[in-house]
Amino acid sequence: MKVALFIPCYVRAVAPSVIEASYKLLRYLGVDVAVPEGQTCCGQPMGNAGYEDEAEHLKKRFEKIFEEYDVIVGPSPSCVVYVRERYGELFRGRIYEICEYVHDVLKPTSLPGRFPHRVSLHNNCHGTRLEGLAAPSELNVPYFNKLKDLLSLVEGIEVVEPERPDECCGFGGLFSIEESAVSVKMGEDKVRRHLATGAEYVTAADSSCLMHQGGIIAAQKLPLKTIHIVEILASGL
């Protein structure tokens, strides 16, 4: 079985350590993962902003790069959902967000390493409501949270959630620019609630939410750090 690592463009740009952590984690769990060359962007930012047509060439590029693989794994729920939902049938059933893949397919019972910190978990919108990483707070469904399950395998960690644990943080792609006033207010509210948990770190499965929240944390010089969940899961590797 051929497994490929999908590198979302903004993760490469602002958080390349997440890619290295993803690679190490998959290798540690016995996956012979390939990192195809020539990857750029799936087209999600353009699509969500209303320019899906103009990102058609990115879709073609993505299809060409990944069509030969049986499984594609990427560390970003929103990009993975975009490909799954907007690319037609081609990748349905074989593209996974990395936490989903590790939790549902690889099912580790332990992970090496320690992360002796209090961590506030941001359940991001697309991961929770579209990808199924956790039970959305709106629905009357049995509680589950795959991110918490995975984090519980890390020694020493204390996982907490802010009030309104899956309310949007206000990033929203180009929303963050076009509606910057609302976006910043949402981010400030979100970060304030993380801070109230007494956590040292904010973690999430999506680097874009963390980039936005990290921007607020830096502007307000708050005693909080952001870290992608895969970096915690791979902390002993």
Partner 1 sequence: MSTEKHAAAARKYLKDTAKVDWQDETLWLVRGKRDRLSKQIPEWEALRDAASRIKLYSNSHLPELLEQFESHAVANGAIVHWAKDAGEYRDIIGGLLTGHGVRLFVKSKSMLSEECGLVPYLEGLGIEAVETDLGERIIQLMGLKPSHIVLPAVHIKREEVGRLFEKEMGTEPGNSDPTYLTHAARRNLRQYFLKADAAMTGGNFAVASTGEVVVCTNEGNADMGTSAAPLQIAAFGIDKIVPDRESLGVFTRLLARTATGQPVTTYTTHYSAPRKGTEFHIVIVDNGRSRILADREHFRLLNCIRCGGCMNTCPVYRRSGGYSYSHFIPGPVGVNLGMASDPDRHKGNLSACTLCHSCEMVCPAKVDLAEQIYRWRQHYHTSAGKKAISDGMAFLMGGPGRFGAGLTVGPGAMKALKAVGGHWGKGREFPDIVSSKNLESIEKQDHGK
Name the segment binding partner 1 (CB under 8 A); options: 27-35, 69-77, 92-100, 152-160: 27-35
Q: How far is CA 199 from the centre of its chain?
A: 19
Q: Among 64, 92, 177, 198, which residue interacts with partner 1 (rule: CB under 8 A)?
A: 177
Under rule CB under 8 A, residue 2 binds partner 1: no
Q: Which of residues 107-136 bind partner 1 (CB under 8 A)?
A: 125-126, 129-130, 136
Would you tell me the crossing angle of helices 180-196 and 207-220 to the nearest 10 degrees?
A: 80
* DSSP secondary structure, 168-207, as one string: --S-TTTHHHHTHHHHHHHHHHHHHHHHHTT-SEEEES-H
- Could you give the CA distance from residue 25 to residue 154 in angstroms, rounded to a whole number? 13
Site string for partner 1, 70-109 (x = CB under 8 A): ----------------------------------------
What minimum distance in Å lies between the beta carbon of 156 and partner 1?
A: 27
Under rule CB under 8 A, residue 15 binds partner 1: yes
Nearer CB in complex with partner 1: 45/162: 45
Nearest of 131, 127, 112 to residue 165 by alpha carbon? 127
Q: Which of residues 180-209 bind partner 1 (CB under 8 A)?
A: 180-189
| C-beta neighbour count of 222 within 10 angstroms | 15
Nearer CB in complex with partner 1: 91/171: 171
- Tokens for 5, please give them: 């690592």
Q: Bridge partners of 225? A: 201
Under rule CB under 8 A, residue 225 binds partner 1: no
Under rule CB under 8 A, residue 52 binds partner 1: yes
Q: Among 3, 31, 39, 194, which residue interacts with partner 1 (rule: CB under 8 A)?
A: 39
What minimum distance in Å lies between the beta carbon of 226 and partner 1?
A: 10
Contact 106, 55 (CB under 8 A): no
What minimum distance in Å lies between the beta carbon of 126 and partner 1?
A: 8
Under rule CB under 8 A, residue 150 binds partner 1: no
Q: Bridge partners of 155? A: 114
Under rule CB under 8 A, residue 171 binds partner 1: yes
Under rule CB under 8 A, residue 215 binds partner 1: yes
Nearest of 161, 156, 153 to residue 135 by alpha carbon? 161
